[in-house]
Amino acid sequence: MTKTIKFPTKNFFKEGGKDSTIPFMTKHSVEDLLKNHLIKPNEVVLKNRDIKICFNYPFKQPFIFTFSSPNGDGFTRGQLAEIIINQYYQMYREEDETIQEKPVLSLEERKQVSFLINRNETDGKYGIWGHDMDDLSLNSMSIDKDGIWHLSIDS
């Protein structure tokens, strides 16, 4: 059986009368999301000391990172959300720092090229395509047979 950890929120965006998932932010801080919006942030959801998480969207290929429990005795839902969000921030920052020839087009430039305003693919370390950081939302994560956690990210 596959274990899944969900990241539900309250009082954030209402879709069909229901609360939505955590959006990655430009408008809100990680602290605000965890303190005021994430449901059951202090619930221990993993007892592992170390975990591997695969980040594959929206990147040219999957990237796996290992994370250690902040206090050595597992992870709360809030700790996982913070780790994931911070890793995304780092990946987007490193992408911008390593772009060679395909820079990120501004929103205005995107509108001139296409009716879509998605992020163009860049040629930095991660090959980010399709979405800016604030377009993404964290839904859940599930573990595979090899013990690697895979994120469910919407845009």
Query: pLDDT tens-digit profile of 77-126?
Result: 999 999 999 999 899 999 999 999 888 888 788 877 766 678 888 899 99
Closest CA to 38 of 139, 149, 128: 139
Q: Give the per-residue pLDDT at 1.
A: 39
Whole-number Å distance between alpha carbons of 54 and 122: 20
Check pLDDT > 50 for residue 38. yes
Report strand pairing: 18-19 vs 14-15.
antiparallel
Taken in order 113, 102, 150, 53, the sign of the CA dihedral is negative
Sequence spans of domains, the chain: 4-154
For residues 53 and 84, the answer to whether their CB atoms sit within 8 Å is yes
For the record, the structure tokens of 110 come out as 């995107």
Percent of the chain with pLDDT over 70: 85
Check pLDDT > 60 for residue 15. no
pTM: 0.86
